[in-house]
Amino acid sequence: MVVLIIGGKLQGTEAVYLAKKAGYRTWLVDKNVMAPASKLCDKFFCIDALERRTMLKLYRNADIVIPAVENKAVLEALGRYSAAAGTPLVFDAQAYALSSSKRKSDRFFMENKIPAPKPYPGCAYPVIVKPSGRSGSEGVAKLYSEKELEACPCYLSGDYVIQEYLEGRSFSIEVIGRGSSYNMLQVTEIIVDSRYDCKQVVAPAMISEEIEASFYQIALNLAEALKINGIFDIEVILDNGQLKVLEIDARLPSQTPISVYHSTGVNMVGLMADAALGRVKPVHVRARRVCLLQQVTVTPDGATILGERIMADAGPLSVIRGFFGADEALTDYSAEKNCWEATLIITGKTETHARARLAQVMKNIRKSTRESELQEAIG
């Protein structure tokens, strides 16, 4: 099977990695010759996805197409190519239109009685301000007073969502379906950095059966309301024993699918391909091991753990097994570079075991950095 993936940044890297793990041939389209996924795929086409003639040729030779972009014009064009070529596009345009607007999503949550943070002005400070049309942590700010809010008039322009700030653990789940049949996958824990960017995923999340059942019910309610064709993920926060939905995204996410794959063996890209071809079968999701997925950036000053944004502009990545003791890493590392980034993939029989392995990997990386500095000093 040939999987055509459009976009080679974070989601594209996820799609290429998992498609190859599923045994598929991977073709990638990105107009950036230095796209992170450009060296991971079997064939890389450095073209603009709006080049209709070239894209139709690729479509006609592919079995399915997975979009890993958020550009509206490109997504609309991909839908037209799919209709013209007859190649399935794993994308639910209606669900994406809803999930790509936080304002629309919040209204949808209220209409469907989905628990969510209280909206401003019906909440106390501090509040979280999020751009309605941007994904993930981009542009998110925490404000402590009315004075801070009024100091930035753009926040009140209607282009932002303002909600109560909640302290608590964050979790995520993916749902893959085809209208009325759904697979709800493993619950993962999301750990963020100071900029609310995910820096570590824990799969599975260590939560009670009651909390897990509550999350699965929320996921089922959303899937039935959306009648999803494709994939969407849900991020929630645990607030005083109750899960509240922070956001949904009707696209292949980054980080969690790889984590779930290494914990359970379930491959989301494989399930997406099956769904696109009309083969939705129930999947038993059981954790075989704990997986920790974490980003690290290395400079002459040392190794620092940060959110996934560091990988977006890292340049072409490679998969390296046994990287400083990790199971695998997606990285732009080379022995000649003193600055590089990596997504570390580490597994263990238990979370304690996995964290001990992660600590050793970080120790190995920091030791290597110090040895490089010493070698340079000696000359």
227: left (phi over 0), alpha (psi -120 to 50) or beta: left
pLDDT digits (tens, 9 = 90+) for 269-283: 999 999 998 888 889
What CATH number does the domain containing 75 carry?
3.40.50.720
Same domain, 214 and 146: no
| The pLDDT value given to residue 370 | 72
Rounded average pLDDT over 67-79: 97
pLDDT digits (tens, 9 = 90+) for 198-211: 999 999 999 999 99
Rounded average pLDDT over 189-195: 93
> Does position 106 have pLDDT exceeding 90, yes or no?
yes
Same domain, 146 and 198: no
Number of domains comprising the chain: 4
| The pLDDT value given to residue 375 | 47
> Does position 194 have pLDDT exceeding 50, yes or no?
yes
Same domain, 9 and 46: yes
Does a structural domain hold residue 110? no
Rounded average pLDDT over 292-315: 94
> Does position 76 have pLDDT exceeding 80, yes or no?
yes
Same domain, 190 and 271: yes
Rounded average pLDDT over 309-327: 96
- The pLDDT-based confidence of 371 (bands split at 50, 70, 90) is low
Same domain, 81 and 11: yes
Question: Residue 12 is part of which domain span?
Answer: 2-89
> Does position 117 have pLDDT exceeding 90, yes or no?
yes
- The pLDDT-based confidence of 373 (bands split at 50, 70, 90) is low
How far lies 49's CA from each of 32, 53, 293, in Å?
11, 10, 31
Whether residue 252 contacts residue 268, with contact meaning beta carbons closer than 8 Å, is answered with yes
Same domain, 177 and 272: yes
Does a structural domain hold residue 136? yes
pLDDT digits (tens, 9 = 90+) for 223-235: 999 999 999 999 9
Does a structural domain hold residue 104? no
Does a structural domain hold residue 183? yes
Same domain, 52 and 135: no
Same domain, 313 and 360: yes
> Does position 376 have pLDDT exceeding 70, yes or no?
no
Whether residue 275 contacts residue 164, with contact meaning beta carbons closer than 8 Å, is answered with no
| The pLDDT value given to residue 243 | 98
Does a structural domain hold residue 81? yes
Same domain, 73 and 7: yes
Same domain, 199 and 261: yes
> Does position 379 have pLDDT exceeding 60, yes or no?
no
pLDDT digits (tens, 9 = 90+) for 121-149: 999 999 999 999 877 677 899 999 999 99
> Does position 350 have pLDDT exceeding 80, yes or no?
yes
| The pLDDT value given to residue 139 | 84
Same domain, 177 and 227: yes
